[in-house]
Structure 1
Amino acid sequence: MYIRVTIAQLNSHLGNFDENLKKIYKAVDIAEKNKADFVIFPELFLTGYPPEDLILRTSFLKKNIKYLEKVISYSKNKNVVILLGYIDVEEDAYNSVSIIHHGKFLGKYRKQLLPNYSVFDEHRYFKPGKETVIIEYNSIKVGLNICEDIWSPIGPLHYQVLNGAQLILNASASPYYYGKRTLRKQYLSTKSYDYHCPIVYCNLIGGQDEVVFDGGSIVTTSKGDILYECKPFDEEIITIDIPIEENLRTNLQDPRRRYIELEKKDVKIIKISNIQPKRKKLKLSKITYNLNKENEIFKAITLGLKDYIKKNGFKKVVIGLSGGMDSSLVAAIATEAFGKENVVGILMPSMYSSEHSIKDAIALAENLGIKYHTLKITDIYYSFMSELKDIFKDHPEDITEENIQARIRGTLLMALSNKFGYIVLATGNKSEIATGYSTLYGDMVGGFSPIKDVYKTEVYKIAKWYNEYKGKEIIPHNVFIKPPSAELRPDQKDQDTLPPYEILDEILKLYIEKELSVEEISEKYDLNTVKYVAKLVDKNEYKRRQGVIGVKVTERSFGKDRRMPITNQYKEW
């Protein structure tokens, strides 16, 4: 005995109902052709996720229902049961999955556990559901739930299984950060083993502003083994047969569940009688994907960048090429995402730019095959200083003159953006953004910041992996070995004002992502260094609030993940 499920791991476009509908129809047709019992889509696939304050617009909610009705109509001559994420609207809004079959809306499941941490803010928009739903499909009991519902120790999954569910179908939109894919697989395997119940976990893929959904949908067996894993960071529609009789066999051999007390809980049974034509059991090889860290993060950033540009209607990107590591990696990512013909590099040397940096930038552009231009900023800079000389007299040169150079470069990039419709890619990394080692209205300008959540040490590792992946030197060797420098004054080095990146990044991870105190971090690192880094992080919150969004790849990124007040007097340094 088995249930045949089609997993539609697809990339939804928020608010683009027509495009999402085409994908829904295609997946339904594939499921029908494969004689599937169910086709399941990711969480809120019809609308796109997360809709945020669009949910507060009744016109958006009505359109969502209108397009749900189109799917219901399309299902008239289909034998497959369609499980589609949408927003249910009655006296309030509910994050829901519809149950559609033979042109009829048979019911829905409303998400009960609404996450309100990290990038999530679902309590702002949705009312939690109360009913636990089980679909009784030809006498087989199937539990249906949504994303967070499966992560709680006691929740809908618990009650569904203890009320006889033999299979769990979960529609998810689980955002990516490095380590999440491993955590997800371990957790779902454990849940399947503990409850002796296979789980189909259908996850969204694609970029939505700073969030990336990695897909990696999983099917587990009642023994906790991974039966199948979908491609990470890619669309896939796969049909798989899931054995059901293993539940009973496992329960008989391992009767722990008999002693679990079942609390009273509303359980709604939706009965579906469906006669499937004769079908041969599918032969599907077990597949799992294990990517190394650099490959995984590179794929996440590439997907996030590609979707941000594509879904917002831009055609080309422009990048300031300094000959440094950050701009080199961003150019490589952009070229992989859009093709060399859609990436433009701009060299903007000043009187302080080294000859080797200019050569490295040109070599990178030629290795990538992208078009590049050189715009010298020296004369522009001296023109600025000429205008400012009377006001600046009797004041020595300082960081002001350095920032003017960065702002000239930002102005030139934005001029090209305005004139040709390019979107500027900022090239700052997380270490710089954390410590304020970046210039407002200068190197921080842009429409998107791909490596915003990547620490400097990780930038080097990903760049090294990229050259190995390409099988040749794309990012020039000299970029790896020269000391990092903004080149805004003679012989300037990043380490003139910052601790070595190997130390800085570890302190930042503990302070930003783990929220450890200065005192706790100083047990491992020099106290004065830790205080200095913490001071830089705290003082530059005002800069980050004005910064460009970028792809989230760590557990705690700047932005929605970390909402620190700018105006506050709490200090640890």
Structure 2
Amino acid sequence: MQIALAQINPTIGDLEGNREKILDYARRADDRGADLVVFPELCVTGYPPEDLLENPFFKRAVQRTVDHLARALPADLGVIIGAPVPNGDRFGKPLHNAALLLENGAVQDRVYKTLLPTYDIFDEDRHFEPAEERRLLEWRGLRIGLHVCEDMWNVHQPEGVDQSERYERDPVAELAALDPDLFVNISASPFSIGKHEVRDKLVEHICRRHERPFLLCNQVGANTEIIHDGDSRVHAADGTQVACAASFEEDLLFWDTESSPEACTTGRDAIADLHDALVLGVRDYYEKTGIFDKALVGLSGGIDSAVTCALAVEALGPERVVGVTMPSEISSEGSVTDSQALADNLGIEFKEIPIKPAVDAFDDMLADEFAGTEPGVAEENVQSRARGVTLMALSNKFGHLLLSTGNKSEVAIGYVTLYGDTNGGVAVLSDVLKTRVYELARHINVRAGANVIPQNTIEKPPSAELRAGQKDTDTLPPYETLDAILERYVEQKKELGTIVGETGLDEDLVRGVLRQVDQNEYKRRQAPPGLRVTEKAFGIGRRIPIVMEWDREAMEALAAEEPVSNL
């Protein structure tokens, strides 16, 4: 039997567009002799549909879309799609997250998702009722262990995969007990750095444990912050990967149940994956919103704006990117010349708009109020906010998408100016630590076979250039040190004592960095959505109170004590 995995890029809420994409890929699979074609989780609505699922008209339109699909699909082709369906029970959440088998003009069978994630970016328990039982889907003599995304991320996991026991159930093991011929998982599993290897280990483990082939069809594409990498695959019963879809692009993958397994390997590089994920994130944000004429980037001559601009050019093409340099009275010569060189290398439209008149006007306006005080951060930030106003004016006037350029290291500790360099529609690098930004710059140049990003931009000491001779290290630890702390605290959720023990860094230094992270949540809440590329990004997956007060050292000491009650 020939089975196709249709790795498509749906748009949230675009029921008509998603329907036509499903029909197109189903017809392509049918033309190439497929008996069954499998689509990703919630491909009818796009993932995650969030509170669109509370709109009664939307829910009714989803049902009509599924009915239309069933009637319009090629005759005698089995099609598995993902869609929300009403919960027919009197009690519980209003919907199920379902995998539907369509054939001969109707929904022939269905299974519901059992494990509903509510951690990090996920909030499925808000809308969906879990399945109560596991059962096989029997189709043309094939016994299929069909399940949905999280149902394979269970408690019986191999070494190297998160071992936290979030659920009592193991749907795959329960399906295995029913003696399926193979497993099929439909997913909307998001990308993060290293996710490919994690999936490899997990699926190999499932296959070897249950001695069955495993087919995984995963969504590709970006919707706001969340990026899906695809990475659909087929593993033979011994765990060998025998068919591989492309990553970060749509694909149609075929596998014959009678074929002899031959290993399929994909060479993966973490920085290349990060690069491709960010390009996809920018492209889909721009194209799926459909309201912008071009992308706009403020160019400072620094590494963050250069990498952001280069990624935007790859995502959209040079004809749809505009770079603007906005020197102030204290800007270095390289701020302008490096920006100009980058623009020339990328072939984009380039503008120079000095901000001195605006800064002078603000200085004059505030002179009486600031009289008798020493110049400081307030005066420095006027420059950043003058640039922000300039960029937003261009964005408003010409319909450009302003790309925010701040990296994760700076966003983490508040080394960004509200209503200045935080302005924008999407923050491209807000989940990329500064040390990784440099790796991206070098990767971009190697990939291009030329120094697209000027070497001087990569080599010069980073600086906000808001006062004469300023360097980031005047205020911050070296980025290698800062990122070692931030990666452990934000991404790995480790605390002060553990971080000090692992890094050997000064305890006061680490404590100060953690305090800065905690104190700057209010800035992050007002920042644009950022592209998620790690397991713990700022944004919808990290919910920290803005108003809070707690003693880190006292809390850590209490946590180390033996509990005295059985709470």
Instruction: Determine which of 81, 84, 95 is the counterpart of 1:84.
Output: 81
* 2-structure distance, mates of 1:212, 1:439: 27
Correspondence 1:409-428 to 2 at 5 A? 409-428=387-406
Check the 8 A contact 1:431/1:455 in 2, yes or no: yes
Residue 299 of structure 2: aligned partner: 321
Check the 8 A contact 1:344/1:370 in 2, yes or no: yes
Helix, strand or coil for the counterpart of 1:425?
Answer: strand
Helix, strand or coil for the counterpart of 1:330?
Answer: helix
Q: How far does residue 35 in structure 1 lie from its aligned partner after superposition?
A: 2.6
Residue 56 of structure 1: aligned partner: 54
Instruction: Name the TM-score, length of structure 1 as normaliser.
Output: 0.91
* 1-structure distance, mates of 2:437, 2:382: 26
Correspondence 1:207-246 to 2 at 5 A? 207-243=222-258
1:129-151 CA distances to partner (integer Å, 9 max, x unpaired)?
A: 12323122333311111001111
* 2-structure distance, mates of 1:284, 1:380: 67
Q: How far does residue 518 in structure 1 lie from its aligned partner after superposition?
A: 1.3
* 1-structure distance, mates of 2:153, 2:271: 27
How high is the sequence identity, in percent, across the aligned residues? 39
Helix, strand or coil for the counterpart of 2:138?
Answer: strand
Helix, strand or coil for the counterpart of 2:84?
Answer: strand
Tell me which amino acid in the other structure corresponds to 2:59.
Answer: L
Bigger Cα displacement from structure 2, 516-525 vs 377-386: 516-525
Residue 476 of structure 2: aligned partner: 498
Instruction: Name the TM-score, length of structure 2 as normaliser.
Output: 0.92
Residue 407 of structure 1: aligned partner: 385
Residue 26 of structure 2: aligned partner: 28
Instruction: Determine which of 128, 143, 148 is the counterpart of 2:145.
Output: 143
Q: How far does residue 239 in structure 1 lie from its aligned partner after superposition?
A: 1.8
Check the 8 A contact 1:32/1:78 in 2, yes or no: no
Helix, strand or coil for the counterpart of 1:389?
Answer: helix
Instruction: Determine which of 475, 485, 508 is the counterpart of 1:528.
Output: 508
Q: Structure 1 residue 460 and structure 2 residue 438: aligned?
A: yes
Residue 259 of structure 1: aligned partner: none
Residue 557 of structure 1: aligned partner: 537
Residue 279 of structure 2: aligned partner: 302
Instruction: Determine which of 307, 317, 331 is the counterpart of 1:353.
Output: 331
Correspondence 1:163-174 to 2 at 5 A? 163-174=178-189
Tell me which amino acid in the other structure corresponds to 1:396.
Answer: E
Check the 8 A contact 1:319/1:346 in 2, yes or no: yes
Q: Structure 1 residue 541 and structure 2 residue 539: aligned?
A: no
Question: Cα RMSD between the aligned structures?
Answer: 1.3
Instruction: Determine which of 29, 43, 46 is the counterpart of 1:45.
Output: 43
Helix, strand or coil for the counterpart of 1:132?
Answer: coil
1:493-520 CA distances to partner (integer Å, 9 max, x unpaired)?
A: 0000000000000001111112221122
Q: How far does residue 46 in structure 1 lie from its aligned partner after superposition?
A: 0.5
1:171-227 CA distances to partner (integer Å, 9 max, x unpaired)?
A: 000001001111001110110111000010000000011000000001000011001
Residue 161 of structure 2: aligned partner: none
Check the 8 A contact 1:170/1:202 in 2, yes or no: yes
Q: 1:355 to 1:284 in 2, by over 3 A?
A: farther
Residue 6 of structure 1: aligned partner: 4
Q: How far does residue 536 in structure 1 lie from its aligned partner after superposition?
A: 0.9
* 1-structure distance, mates of 2:548, 2:387: 33
Helix, strand or coil for the counterpart of 1:108?
Answer: strand
Q: Structure 1 residue 179 and structure 2 residue 198: aligned?
A: no
Correspondence 1:468-507 to 2 at 5 A? 468-507=446-485
Instruction: Determine which of 259, 278, 288 is the counterpart of 1:311.
Output: 288
Instruction: Determine which of 411, 416, 422 is the counterpart of 1:433.
Output: 411
Check the 8 A contact 1:12/1:48 in 2, yes or no: yes
* 2-structure distance, mates of 1:363, 1:284: 51
Helix, strand or coil for the counterpart of 1:18?
Answer: helix
* 1-structure distance, mates of 2:11, 2:217: 17
Q: How far does residue 284 in structure 1 lie from its aligned partner after superposition?
A: 9.7
Check the 8 A contact 2:322/2:348 in 1, yes or no: yes
* 2-structure distance, mates of 1:447, 1:189: 40
| Structure 2 gaps, min length 5 | 89-93, 157-168, 554-567
Tell me which amino acid in the other structure corresponds to 1:89.
Answer: P
Q: How far does residue 120 in structure 1 lie from its aligned partner after superposition?
A: 0.5
1:217-267 CA distances to partner (integer Å, 9 max, x unpaired)?
A: 010000110011110101001221124xxxxxxxxxxxxxxxxxxxxxxxx
Check the 8 A contact 2:225/2:532 in 1, yes or no: yes
Residue 127 of structure 1: aligned partner: 129
Q: How far does residue 49 in structure 1 lie from its aligned partner after superposition?
A: 0.6
Query: How many residues are treated as equivalent by the alignment?
Result: 532
1:336-361 CA distances to partner (integer Å, 9 max, x unpaired)?
A: 00000000000100011101221101
1:55-113 CA distances to partner (integer Å, 9 max, x unpaired)?
A: 111111110000000011113x5212110101111342110011111112212111011
Check the 8 A contact 2:431/2:534 in 1, yes or no: yes
Tell me which amino acid in the other structure corresponds to 2:252.
Answer: I
Q: How far does residue 285 in structure 1 lie from its aligned partner after superposition?
A: 7.1
* 2-structure distance, mates of 1:60, 1:548: 27
Tell me which amino acid in the other structure corresponds to 2:13.
Answer: G
Tell me which amino acid in the other structure corresponds to 1:302.
Answer: V
1:282-340 CA distances to partner (integer Å, 9 max, x unpaired)?
A: x9975432221111100001101110111001231111000000000000000000000
* 2-structure distance, mates of 1:289, 1:58: 44
Q: How far does residue 476 in structure 1 lie from its aligned partner after superposition?
A: 0.5
Bigger Cα displacement from structure 2, 101-110 vs 223-232: 101-110
Residue 69 of structure 2: aligned partner: 71
Check the 8 A contact 1:434/1:537 in 2, yes or no: yes
Tell me which amino acid in the other structure corresponds to 1:62.
Answer: R
Instruction: Determine which of 102, 105, 111 is the counterpart of 2:104.
Output: 102
Bigger Cα displacement from structure 2, 518-527 vs 175-184: 518-527
Check the 8 A contact 2:236/2:261 in 1, yes or no: no
Residue 160 of structure 2: aligned partner: none
Helix, strand or coil for the counterpart of 1:133?
Answer: coil
1:374-431 CA distances to partner (integer Å, 9 max, x unpaired)?
A: 1001121111101110111011101000100000000000000110000110100000
Tell me which amino acid in the other structure corresponds to 2:212.
Answer: C
Helix, strand or coil for the counterpart of 1:442?
Answer: coil
Bigger Cα displacement from structure 2, 49-58 vs 30-39: 30-39
Instruction: Determine which of 177, 186, 200 is the counterpart of 2:215.
Output: 200
Tell me which amino acid in the other structure corresponds to 1:79.
Answer: D
Tell me which amino acid in the other structure corresponds to 1:547.
Answer: A
1:269-294 CA distances to partner (integer Å, 9 max, x unpaired)?
A: xxxxxxxxxxxx7x997543222111
* 1-structure distance, mates of 2:408, 2:26: 42
Helix, strand or coil for the counterpart of 1:197?
Answer: coil
Helix, strand or coil for the counterpart of 1:522?
Answer: helix
Instruction: Determine which of 106, 111, 114 is the counterpart of 1:112.
Output: 114
Q: Structure 1 residue 572 and structure 2 residue 552: aligned?
A: yes
Q: How far does residue 4 in structure 1 lie from its aligned partner after superposition?
A: 1.6
Tell me which amino acid in the other structure corresponds to 2:424.
Answer: G
Q: How far does residue 563 in structure 1 lie from its aligned partner after superposition?
A: 0.5
* 1-structure distance, mates of 2:476, 2:308: 22
* 1-structure distance, mates of 2:424, 2:384: 13
Tell me which amino acid in the other structure corresponds to 2:410.
Answer: E
Residue 292 of structure 1: aligned partner: 269
